[in-house]
Amino acid sequence: MSEKSVLIIDDEPGHRLMVRAVLSEAGWEVYEAGSGEEGLAFLRGLPAGGLPDVVLLDMRMPGMDGMEALRGIRGVSDALPVVMLTAYGSVGSAVEAMKQGAYDYLTKPSDNDELAAVVEKARNYGRLLGENRDLRRKLSDRGAGERLIGESLGMRRLRELIAQVGPSEATALILGESGTGKELVAEGLHGASARRERALIKVNCAALPGELLESELFGYVKGAFTGAMKDKPGRFVLADGGTLFLDEVGEMPLSLQAKLLRVLQDGVVEPLGSVRSVPTDARILAATNRDLALDVREGRFREDLYYRLNVLEIRIPPLRERLDDLPLLAGYLLSKLGEKNRKSVRGVSSAFLERLSAYSWPGNVRELENVLERALILSRSDTLTPELLPAHLQAGNGEEGAGDGPHGEAAKASGGPHASDAPMSFDEAEKMAIVQALAANDGHRERTADALGVSRRTLQYKLRKYGLTRR
């Protein structure tokens, strides 16, 4: 197979010829099959890894129909994207096919720009599904640092930094917003170090009040305070020879910061109530979502401790800066959540991914995981769709409410319903907005849909409604 290849399964030679002409000009290698049986035989005869990137599959054919052929294709590969071809009057059947695993559908005859755009999107989607599958297969052999999922530049650099910093003995400060995976970075650093066979001890400095945090970190001896019935080693001692991870270190009281500084300088701890120092050899990793440099300037964090902790600084990019990683992240998280909830899904719809990509994710990966778990639990099929998302992720899709949405804004920009003395109906205003958007985008359907803030299928419906389709 070439770099970009597509198989069209359609019993109409004329339509196959049109598809070949359009896609060949766009750089695709086009294969043809005149029936579902012939298409399946072609796919099954290909070597592993030699499948086309996309299949275009007609819904209605003599013998094996599109739905039966779709099930057969799924038996060959569950990651091969299938775009259904349907007559305008049988769109409902294509929607049902999407619920059964088809990527998208096109009505016949297809608009040339739309055909090329949908096939390209399907190819990209199939590539991501394949990467997710390979990723899940490899995860069981990976360390924690490699469980930082993503192929964006920021995540590749992060993994490289973990591999470089991990083997050192230097103290590291991990910076990142809440939910970005600071604990995973700490686990990755520990796993890449010579201390990986010893303990990684974790302490959340924000979870305990000052006096309890002090006893947890440094330990105490019998009789140090009421209720101290026996000696208890602190986390520094438990981490001896290994790594101590101080999460949310910016929340540590100033009084404890001085004691922590001494441990870093001298390598000894003094348990509460003891007159003897106990040596400790623990590598210190710290993390915070606060701006410690600002806290230093405002007197909330000791400057000397800040420089002791910040020998090596590791910043984790927030999810909104690496939205290209969403498909990989979603695939990994759904696999993990499926095991947790004893429920699995085959994948997510393209519209579902589009809604995820349109959101800014203030809660980062932790918020994404919560959203995906909710959708997984509520889903009644093996594909996640947008209606399973919380309301704030579904808002702003631009497909309804043209008065306040993209249609209304486009109408206002062009003078809208008040451009003349005669009142203009909603349909007239919407048609005008679409015509002007088409003109501004040189008739390109995909760019026009983006400009109007609607989905491509919604635009396709509106064009037919207002008689704006090409003849």
Q: What is the mean pLDDT of residues 144-155?
A: 75
- pTM score, two decimals? 0.56
**Does 409 have pLDDT greater than 70?**
no
Per-residue model confidence (pLDDT) at position 227? 76
pLDDT value for 427: 63
**Which of 39-43, 405-409, 434-438 holds the top average pLDDT?**
39-43
Please give the pLDDT value at position 31: 94
DSSP, res 219: E
Q: Which residues pair with 202 in a beta bridge?
A: 245
3-state secondary structure of 203: strand
C-alpha distances (whole Å) from 28 to each of 3, 82, 120, 238 are 8, 16, 10, 61
State the Cα–Cα distance between residues 86 and 97, nearest whole angstrom.
11
Q: How many CA atoms lie within 13 A of 456 on its CB side?
A: 20
Contact criterion met (CB below 8 Å) for 52 and 7: yes
pLDDT score recorded for residue 464: 77
The closest alpha carbon to 70, from 98, 31, 47, 44, belongs to 98
> Residue 88 has what pLDDT?
61
- Does 49 score more than 80 pLDDT? no
Q: Quote the pLDDT of residue 417.
A: 37
* Per-residue pLDDT at 344: 80
Give 170's contacts (C-beta < 8 A, 6+ positions apart): 311, 312
Please give the residue that has the higher pLDDT: either 332 or 413.
Answer: 332
- The listed range with the strongest mean pLDDT (139-148, 249-258, 405-414) is 249-258
What are the Cα distances from residue 75, in Å, to 40, 42, 78? 10, 14, 7
Task: State the pLDDT confidence band at 133, using cuts at 50, 70 and 90.
Answer: low
What does the H/E/C string look like for 61-90? CCCCCHHHHHHHHHHHCCCCCEEEEEEHHH
Residue scoring higher pLDDT (385 or 456): 385
Domain edges within the chain: 5-139, 149-317, 320-394, 406-465
Percent residues over pLDDT 70 in the chain: 85
First vs last Cα of the chain: how many Å apart?
35
- Name residues whose C-beta falls within 8 Å of residue 253's C-beta, 6 or more positions apart in sequence: 210, 213
| Cis amide leading into 109 (omega within 30) | yes
Tell me the per-residue pLDDT of 6-38, one tens digit each, with 9 for 90 and over: 999 999 999 999 999 999 998 999 999 999 999
CA dist 369 and 58 (Å) reads 37
- Sequence length of the chain is 471
pLDDT of residue 396 exceeding 50, the answer is no
* Residue 298: per-residue pLDDT: 94
Amino acid in the structure at residue 261: L
CA-nearest of 37, 54, 73 to 1 is: 54
Retrieve residue 63's tokens.
């013998």
Between CA 67 and CA 86 the distance in angstroms is 12
Q: Chain-wide mean pLDDT for the chain?
A: 83
Among the residue ranges 66-80, 98-112, 174-188, 324-338, the one predicted with the least confidence is 98-112
Phi then psi for residue 42, to 5 deg, are -65, -45
Q: Span 364-373, mean pLDDT?
A: 94
Quote the CA–CA distance of 171 and 306 in Å, as a whole number: 11
Residue with the bigger pLDDT between 180 and 89: it is 180
pLDDT for the residue numbered 436? 78
Q: Which CATH architecture has domain 320-394?
A: Orthogonal Bundle (1.10)
The CATH T-level fold of domain 149-317 is Rossmann fold (3.40.50)
- C-alpha 363/C-alpha 392 separation (Å) is 13
Report yes or no: 158 and 314 within 8 Å, Cβ to Cβ.
yes
Residue 287: pLDDT above 90?
yes
CATH class for the domain made up of 5-139: alpha beta
pLDDT at position 249, please?
96
280 pLDDT above the threshold of 80: yes
pLDDT greater than 90 at residue 187: yes
Q: Tell me whether residue 138 is exposed, middle or buried, using C-beta atoms within 10 angstroms of its C-beta: 0 to 12, 13 to 18, 19 or more.
A: exposed
Question: Which residues are CB-neighbours of 323 under 8 A, at least 6 positions away?
Answer: 357
Distance CA 196, CA 192 (A): 7
Q: Confidence band (pLDDT; 50, 70, 90) for 419?
A: very low
Q: Please state which of the ranges 153-162, 273-282, 347-356, 399-408 shows the lowest mean pLDDT.
A: 399-408
Question: Predicted confidence band at 319 (pLDDT cuts at 50, 70, 90)?
Answer: very high
Which whole number is the average pLDDT over 151-170?
91
Two domains, one topology: 5-139 and 149-317: yes
Region 70-87: what's the mean pLDDT? 87
